[in-house]
Chains A and B, each alone.
Chain A
Amino acid sequence: MVLKKIVNWARVKSPWIIHVNTGGCNGCDIEVVDVLTPRYDVERLGILIQGSPRHADVLVVTGPATQQMKSRLKLLWEQTPDPKFVIAIGACACSGGIFRHSYIPCLGIDTVIPVDIYIPGCPPKPEAIIFGIAQLLAKLQGKDTPVITPKEIDLKSHIKDKEAFAI
């Protein structure tokens, strides 16, 4: 029990991340790098970017998981040592975003690996990314985190000009 507490304390103090792009547009990637550079500087909170999945605790994934990247993402996830956590950054990674209806099945990364925290936005602002990571740390400490259950909304009744939006 005490050992578990100590391990948890160490994990919360300094999560090391690896950044994986699974075919997004780059917008989320530059915001992730932005978080690591002087304006936002999450290194002061102990968060460090790593080159190899074997050294990382947290997989930070952007992009919609294209056909070619699916198997590679799975490999990377398998290489990361337990316990591991996955953060999905951007609308793409959460659900496929704008590319969802493409002929390549880009349906988000949770069709490939389990995800702990979703950060929506296209791209999310650096503040949102930091908030998301803070939520992950709170989750590790056993605190409650906000959970949003997605609802389906029929937008068709709201559209006045039907011709312009016909797909």
Chain B
Amino acid sequence: MAKKKIKVASPKTGCAACMPNTMEIPLGPQHPALKEPEHFLLEVEGEIIVNVTPRIGYVHRGIEKLAETKTYSQNLTLVERVCGICSHVHSISLVNAVEGILSKHDFEVPERAQYIRTIILELERVHSHILWLGIAAHEIGFDTLFMLSWRDRELSMDLLEEITGNRVNYGINEIGGIRRNMTKEQLDKTIKYMHLTIERLDRYVEICLKEDTIRLRTQGVGILLPSKAKELCTCGPTARASGLAVDIRYDDPYSAYKGALRDILKVVTYDTNDVFSRVVVRLIETIEACKYIIWLVENMPDGPVFAKPPRKIPEAKILSRTEAPRGELIHYLWSNNTNKPYRLKITTPTLANILSVSEMLKGDYIADSTISLASIDPCFSCEDRMITIINKDRRKSKVWTWNFDQLRKYSREWNAKNKRWKK
């Protein structure tokens, strides 16, 4: 980190008349504004950012390959560890994929299990969005709101702990249902806590709409126009804050969203396209999520919560989409009639949103870069996918950040060198 800073913090050489005098400032991998290792190279002209290059790959752990060596129920544990904040939604995606294959062979998941899964999904959204509000407030220096919102987040954390037994990686899903049922007291407590959370959130909405500390730092910052948002394939709250009504819960329902809940689902959008609009969208969405939880508890059906699945999953390829707190999450599963997946491919929302950060930061001040960056709610542990190839002489290492032409050139060179085509 330190080496890099010394190296690049000097002006680019070149003719001053024909080349603007830009500087490069590295942000990360270890930076107080980033909770996770990630690197952004900001190109600045004076105080204004002109270009941003993200570099991902510090958190690559080889999860997809690891998944091929584990059975399906072991994989649920693994897949939860892709991301600690949206852990349940990852396991829901895998479970939905497997159950989607099994549903072709007359296998059905009990409805009560689907309802409890959805309650946990929405609770996770509540805790994740409140967490984000705290982090965003911390980035703009409003630490009071950071502390207050994290205090209120504990309500939903307590509920999650009581229902599932764990605070972060819940481990409640199982193929064919869930591991624990909810008791009557837990249901009552959920309703009580959710009313309390709505009360507190109403106050935050008021604070965010009226407080100058927030408005002045967020309005007109990090603008992402709807056309650009569409072009860069953003998803989740980032897209909704740019006025695009995309929500997988509504567009392609899964779990309990398939039923009557879909009628009361609201796709929250806002149209000022800046960081402020992302704050508003997330806050309103949290309140809506609390209301869905109350609805789910009130309309909870009775019955079993688990049906025993067959051990071997028939051969199929399936794609399952879910709406994580940060956007669209895709799991692509390829099974081969054994108890382990043949291939599992995970695409996470931050990977889709990361390019829009470069667009948001252009033209802004350096001081605003951290809040713009935080505004997409980045979760780097989900999205890292990169391999370092070490050269034969092992002195230089190459990194896969090439474009298509470079990749083709490399493949030609490699083939010529290795004489693959002659075989």
Contacts and interface: CB of A to CB of B under 8 A. Distances in A.
A68 interface: yes
A34 to B, nearest CB: 7
Nearest to B399: A68
Interface stretch (B74-82, B226-234, B240-248, B251-259): B74-82
26 contacts: A20-B30, A23-B37, A24-B381, A26-B35, A26-B379, A27-B169, A30-B85, A30-B168, A37-B134, A37-B146, A37-B147, A38-B148, A52-B32, A66-B58, A66-B61, A68-B37, A68-B60, A69-B37, A72-B58, A97-B81, A99-B62, A102-B65, A123-B84, A123-B168, A164-B71, A164-B339
Interface in A43-99: 51-53, 63-64, 66-69, 72, 75-76, 79, 97-99
Nearest to B62: A102
B317 interface: no
A27 B84 contact: yes
A16 to B, nearest CB: 13
B2 interface: yes
A22 B35 CA distance: 10
B37 A98 contact: no
A23 B77 contact: no
Interface residues of A, number: 46
Contacts of A98: 77-78, 81
Contacts, number: 131
A38 B146 CA distance: 10
B45 interface: no
A39 B339 CA distance: 43
Contact of A69 (B2, B58, B339): B58
B131 A30 contact: yes
A30 B29 CA distance: 18
B151 interface: yes
A25 B83 contact: yes
Chain B interface size, under 10 / 10 to 19 / 20 to 34 / 35 or more: 35 or more
B62 A27 contact: no
A85 B154 CA distance: 30
A64 B279 CA distance: 33
Most chain B CB within 10 A, of A21, A22, A39, A75, is at: A21
B147 A38 contact: yes
Given A39-B151, A68-B60, A21 B35 contact: yes
A26 B85 contact: yes
A25 B58 CA distance: 12
Contacts of B57: 68
A37 B150 contact: yes
Contacts of A103: 62, 65-66
A112 interface: no
A68 B167 contact: no
Nearest to A29: B35
A125 B167 CA distance: 8
Given A21-B37, A25-B381, A51-B32, A104 B62 contact: yes
A68 B57 CA distance: 8
A23 B60 CA distance: 7
B418 interface: no
B69 A164 contact: no
B71 A165 contact: yes
Interface in B321-342: 339
Nearest to B149: A37
Nearest to B35: A29
B151 A26 contact: no
> Which residue among B31, B32, B148 has the maximum number of chain A CB atoms within 10 Å of its CB?
B32
B388 interface: yes
B35 A72 contact: no
A28 interface: yes
A135 to B, nearest CB: 21
A99 B61 contact: yes
A38 B81 CA distance: 26
B62 A31 contact: no
Nearest to B29: A72
A28 to B, nearest CB: 7
Contact of A164 (B58, B62, B311, B384): B311
A29 B36 contact: yes
Contacts of A27: 81, 84-85, 87, 168-169
A123 to B, nearest CB: 5
Nearest to A23: B59
A76 B147 CA distance: 28
Contacts of B168: 27, 30-31, 123
Nearest to B78: A98
B1 interface: yes
A120 B151 CA distance: 25
